[in-house]
Structure 1
Amino acid sequence: MVAEDAVVAVDLGATHLRAALVTREGQAGDSVVADTPRQGRSGMAVTEAVASAVARVLEGSAARAVGIASAGPIDAAVGSVVRSPNMAFDEVPLVSPLTDRFGLPVRLINDCRAGALGERWRGAGTGVDNLVYITFSTGIGGGAVVDGRLLLGRGGNAGEVGHLHVDFAYSLPCGCGRTGHWEGYASGTGMPRFFAAWSARRGERPAFDASTSRGILEAAVAGDRVALAFMDALGEVNGRAVSDLIVAYDPEMIVIDGPIAQAHGGLILRHMLPHIDRYLPLPAICVSPLGGRAPLFGAAAYALGAGGLSPPGPPRRR
């Protein structure tokens, strides 16, 4: 494989990171997977982990660029992740140090914008010009393709949908420090807190482990009465947020992704759909067929300039 044919794609999440060689035709090689560092003197601990993964991918291979899809927010001008509520560091520099180390162009994009791009390039949204992508993971994020163009916004952060305001009744805290945000209720970290507040208000005593989103969702799958009642409350919150996205973007399709959606997407959709407003026509809503790799493919597409995007120029140095 020659350099012109492939890029190294990196999906940098709050919990794990993965990297793989992806060809211009959209074929991905074996992934290198590692934990995202939570401890260290600075965000360079994460930078070094990403560099190590990229180096392993490049062993015996060549690439023309590196594309990084990262949990945000990002500062696209500087080339760093900044003040991410789900990462352990205020800043994670990526573009400049990796460019210096590998001598390759490095392109940084928010992971959820990358997810939308990946779905349109290789996933459920192939050929769809109006698409919304939502990921349910440690946090909640999203991205939108409108009239065939990926929305990035001023700093590359258009689509921070996890911070849509969905509730005043509980006013639960979000990782960003505000209250009532979607991420504080329906993400992997928010769901157990929402369940604790909801069950305490109703005087419910669960007979299952409600300390994790997995425990709650598996209890609902098993038919537990309390878990199923909670799923309706969760579906109402999800429905409010998705209703906002429909009237904002008028999409043809909504793709949900992330570990929660990949494991329990049918359950999430079943309890959400009755609570979505029908002011505009309901779009097709599905679980991503890419098995959690949409951000990885989106990072590759961004680095290749696929999906109608031209890679940006180099970041400014400080």
Structure 2
Amino acid sequence: MPFKTRLLAVVAPLTFGVALALPLLVPSTASAHRGWMVPSATVLSGEGAWVGVDAAVSNELFYADHNPMRLDAVVVTAPDGSVEKIQNPATGKYRSTFDVQLAKPGTYKIGSAVSTITASWTQDGQVKRFRGSPEDFARQVPAAAADLKTIKSFNRNETFVTRDAPTTTVFAPTGKGLELVPVTHPNDLVAGEAATFRFLLDGKPAADLEVTFAPGNSRYRAAPGDFKVRTGADGSFKVTFPEAGMYWMNAVVRTGETGRGPGGPGMGGPGVAPGGAQPPATPLAGDGMSASYTATLEALLP
């Protein structure tokens, strides 16, 4: 079905269809605490178009039942490639919300791309730990630190909205982390029709990458409905979504030592001793890298 035949007025949102091919449909158990952003519409037409976006980290997909998503790293990439701020941000107990004005025709990317470094080193006979941005790492960690070990992470979380005709400028790869390079436009997807996507890792094809798809509305199904596909040698894969609706897509790459022991700045949680005291910092096991990509897509009725 041609894209232009499915455009509706601003008040009538469309759903964007995704497809799932490759015979590798592997059911899996739903994962807890998955981050997502869901726009109030994915395809609109006409001037004066706006979308509202819900953002949360939840146990059930697209139901705010755990924590709100932080919005400090979320930006809007306009169809001409310019970067805009989100509007009217607000954070509640379980979810965050914000608005995006679609002032220009074309496809918008709404999302975050966050780079962090976790490190350990030895200084004056003691193990030191760090977790933060690459800029803070350069300022706070000695350049010639002894026994330096690092885990470099790059995480993306995105969704896409189109006003009028779809465009592709926002999909230009940056060469950093895992990136989605769609062959089939994410706002022109239809349930039951095969779509093609491609993943790059640091600008190169992400071969043999496992990609998970999870449909929303799991509370109304006996089984979660998750399925997995794998990328080919060139990083591409085909997918045909079995039914219309919102889908959560996720892929993760890890190399080297990416485990995190207790102790050190930002490393609370299971390693925190009773009473809130931090245990002694422990060194990382080795160097490692992790990259993740998450997107919320919508599959349309045929």
Q: The TM-score by the shorter chain falls in which range? A: under 0.3
Q: State TM-score, norm by structure 1.
A: 0.26
Q: State TM-score, norm by structure 2.
A: 0.27
Compare the two structures and name the one with the higher strand fraction.
2
User: RCO greater where, 1 or 2, for CA within 8 Å and sep 6 or more?
Assistant: 2
